[in-house]
Amino acid sequence: MSEQLYSIVSIIIAILVFLATLIVGWRTDLLKEGNMAGKPYSFNKVQLWLWTAIICPAFVLHWGSIADHHPDINLTGLVLLGISGGTTAAAQIITTSQKANPASNPLLKSLTVQSTGFWSDILKDDTGQLSIGRLQQLIFIFIYIGMYLTMFLPDMSKYPDFNPNSYTLMGISTGTYLISKGLNK
């Protein structure tokens, strides 16, 4: 295949992957706390979904823009997916342990609350209160997505490389969210 054909194919695939990720996220219960109608959106699932919608198309675009066309991903992409995947797994473990004893957690959002809208759902904790931990985490997600895209799009042959301190900041923000979730605060 010619270089131009790789580029065109990668753009088409990246667009299809991005659109499929968006459509599945918005048209299914994938981003909800449970699979019953009317359940609230899950903050941690939204976070993982956002990074998937960014990094998977970037992976394909990178493949189409490098000379040897061997699929490759760098540490930054792996860490971003790892942090969001780990956050989702840890949040699900916390929710599962809270569901195991619903009498001690009568306000658990996934058991008692109906969706009040996307933004409201993801910014409120299990007691229905706005959560500073969730707000902080969401702000950093959008900042890092913006930084990732502005570093990647001008030259798709080079992945963005974040400083290790960026991972530390993301870890602190994630830890704040998970501790708040565990404490229902």
Tens of pLDDT, residue by residue over 117-132, are: 899 999 998 778 888 8
pLDDT tens profile 9-28: 999 999 999 999 999 998 99
CA 72 to chain centre: 21
Domain boundaries, the chain: 3-183
**Residue 69 banded pLDDT, cuts 50, 70, 90:** confident
The per-residue pLDDT for 39 is 86
For the entire predicted model, the pTM comes to 0.85
Q: Where are the alpha helices (DSSP H) in the chain?
A: 3-27, 43-65, 75-99, 109-112, 118-123, 132-152, 164-183
What average pLDDT does the chain have?
87
First to last CA, the chain: 55
